[in-house]
Chain A
């Protein structure tokens, strides 16, 4: 269990930095981060399911300029960790547990947004330090200050991960006995609903005229094709 949480934290750190601070090769997207976490914990299919459900939710929230979207990376990673670890310790498994974990973790994505803002706010003080270092001609110190920013972003990622894990850990075992049965009536439909809600948000906010018309046409075409063939 401790090993699982540590692996999760490691993935959370690397993928979290990819979000803003370095690289931007998109290993921070839920469709990559969740299966990766789950693979390392030994059950990649769970990660894939979580990736499908979380990937599209906040895809429409673009990281444009100074705008900070909710942290779907940490939701995906912590969600996968919770499902796999709680699945071993609780008498629980299956889609219902996965759904319950997401109900708890998704709202906590907002915490990540808050931490991310805080990290960027904290980094403002680096500006003064860099200019002070440059004024006295110590370039190495100035370069070091830039890398100091990585610490803020790392702490923001790990902090979000920890809070989501703690939140999930304390709430899910309590809720589980109550929701397991009721959830089982509709679990597969909810699993379907998550990506569809994400798609509707994309349609509602994407900068394409008549996005909804185009979507409906494509949906109907594809649907008829599958129906008739």
Chain B
């Protein structure tokens, strides 16, 4: 199994992922690690229905995803892994799902979050999560779509502090 992209995106599967990232990283399998959607059959169905049938979609809880990606089931697949929140990303990493790079896509505004870039709104807990991953050696960059430039997340931090 090749993990071609690990991304945090609160919208999970949507246009940017399917239209811009999938052809760019040549993924043929999308794995979504999200407890909420895994527990809601209707929502899960809707999300699966938005993906072309030639791609494999696996939607599971974070715990299930750790097992799935450490098994041999997705051998020979090029996997695009999606998290909804930074907390999930940390939980998966600590649970044994190792990724080397992490892409920050969209984290939308909920009240009390500070703006990091156009589409990234983070609160202090999110920043702590990212710092934790950063310390373990994960390379974290912000990039909405491949046509945008890739920016290391730490370069964005001063903007966040100004807003808090």
A residues adjacent to B (C-beta < 8 A): 61-62, 64-67, 69, 117, 120-121, 205-209
A66 vs chain B, min Cβ distance (A): 5
Note all chain A residues with C-beta closer than 8 A to B22: 207
**Distance between Cα atoms of A69 and B20 in the complex (Å):** 13
Per DSSP, are chain B's interface residues mostly helix, strand or loop, or mixed?
loop
Q: Which 7 A-B pairs have the closest CB atoms?
A: A64-B15, A207-B23, A66-B119, A64-B16, A67-B145, A65-B16, A62-B19
Task: Point out the residues of chain A lying under 8 angstroms from B54, CB to CB.
Answer: 209
- Report whether A67 and B20 are in contact in the complex, using a CB–CB cutoff of 8 Å: yes
CB pair A64 B118 closer than 8 Å: no
A66 touches B144 (CB 8 A): yes
* Distance of B75 from chain A, by nearest CB (Å): 20
Which residue from chain B places its CB closest to the CB of A121 in the assembled complex? Answer: B118
A64 touches B19 (CB 8 A): yes
Distance in angstroms between the alpha carbons of A208 and B14 in the assembled complex:
17
Question: Can you name 9 A-B residue pairings with CB atoms under 8 Å?
Answer: A62-B20, A64-B15, A64-B20, A64-B145, A66-B106, A66-B144, A67-B148, A69-B147, A207-B19
Q: What does DSSP make chain A's interface, helix, strand, loop or mixed?
A: loop
Number of A-B contacts (CB under 8 A): 42
- Decide yes or no whether B139 CB sits under 8 A from chain A: no
B101 CB within 8 Å of chain A: no
Residue of B nearest to A67 (CB): B145
User: What's the Cα separation between A206 and B145 when bound, in Å?
Assistant: 13
Compute how far the CA of A121 lies from the CA of B147 in the bound complex, rounded to whole angstroms. Answer: 20
* Interchain nearest-CB distance for B105 vs A (Å): 9
- Would A205 and B106 count as touching, CB distance under 8 A? no
Instruction: Give every chain B residue within 8 A of A121 (Cβ-Cβ).
Output: 118
Q: How far is the CA of A167 from the CA of B23 in the complex (A)?
A: 36
Q: Which of B24, B118, B146, B147 contacts A66 (CB 8 A)?
A: B118
Once bound together, how far apart are the Cα atoms of A208 and B19, in whole Å?
10
Interchain nearest-CB distance for A48 vs B (Å): 28
Instruction: Judge if B18 is at the interface, Cβ distance under 8 Å.
Output: yes
In contact, A207 and B144 (Cβ under 8 angstroms): no
State the CA gap A194–B144 with chains docked (Å). Answer: 27
Min C-beta distance of A127 to chain B, whole Å: 9
For A205, list chain B residues within 8 Å (CB). Answer: 20, 23-24, 146
B44 within 8 A of A: no
Contacting pair A65 B14 (CB below 8 A): yes
Nearest-CB distance from B100 to chain A (Å)?
25
Q: A121-B118, A205-B23, A207-B23 are in contact. List 8 more A-B contacts (CB 8 A).
A: A64-B145, A65-B11, A65-B15, A66-B106, A67-B147, A117-B118, A207-B18, A209-B54
User: Whole-angstrom distance between the alpha carbons of A88 and B80 in the complex?
Assistant: 55
B15→A62 contact, CB < 8 A: yes
Closest Cβ neighbor of A204 among chain B residues:
B23
B:1-23 near A, CB below 8 Å:
11, 14-16, 18-20, 22-23
C-beta contact mask, B65-92 vs A, less than 8 Å → 1, else 0?
A: 0000000000000000000000000000
Contact with A along B130-164 (1 / 0, CB 8 A): 00000000000000111110000000000000000
CB distance from A132 to the nearest CB of B (A): 14
B106 near A65: Cβ-Cβ < 8 Å: yes
**CA A67 – CA B21 in complex, angstroms?**
13
Find the A residue at minimum CB distance from B119. A66
Among B11, B15, B106, B145, find the residue whose CB has the most chain A CB atoms closer than 10 A: B145
Output the least CB separation between A209 and chain B (Å): 8
| Cα distance, A103 to B83, chains bound together (Å) | 42
**Contact residues in B for A62 (Cβ distance below 8 Å):** 15, 19-20
From A65, A69, A206, A209, residue with most partner B Cβ within 10 Å: A65
